[in-house]
Amino acid sequence: MPCLNVSTNVNLEGVDTSAVLADASSTVATIIGKPENYVMVVLKGSVPMAFGGTQEPAAYGELVSIGGLNPDVNKKLSAGIASILESKLSIPKSRFYLKFHDSKASRYYLLSTAHSWVFIRHHHVLIAILLFVRPILHKNMLNVCMLCIKS
């Protein structure tokens, strides 16, 4: 499940963020070679940020993926995301930094139902729970959470 998290000092008020998110999601899925329905993109604007000693428009991103990353892919992802930020948010490509994390699949669980999903990473590093429409009622949910708590 690739997750792209981008922070920028650009004010996103009045910006079509849906287009930025859609383009970034499609670019990540295409370049990494993973289905887009597993890609998550987070975009945060108006974040106090200085880059190169100035507060001109800039952005910082982190991309976490379970496999699919290598130096060639990383170079393509950097160029692709930088192009989107330049065209949609007027952030020069030279003022964007992207950090990559290639993670192991054994650290993650994805539990889903028709209306909700839960993403849990072991070792108390990340526990993200996203619920839509109704809470998850899963008989093994307590066991999964207990694994995270006990480890």
- DSSP run (H or E) holding 129: strand 127-130
φ, ψ dihedrals at 7, nearest 5°: -115, 140
- In the block, which residue shows the tokens 């990340």? 126
- Sign of the four-CA dihedral 34, 74, 43, 94: negative
| Whether the Cβ atoms of residue 85 and residue 44 lie closer than 8 Å to each other | no
| Whether the Cβ atoms of residue 108 and residue 120 lie closer than 8 Å to each other | yes
List, in order, residues 6 or more apart from 33 with CB less than 8 Å away. Answer: 68
Active site residue 2: yes
The amino acid sitting at 107 is: R
Which candidate in 2, 35, 48, 135 is catalytic? 2
Nearest to 31 by CA among 103, 84, 110: 84
Catalytic residue IDs: 2
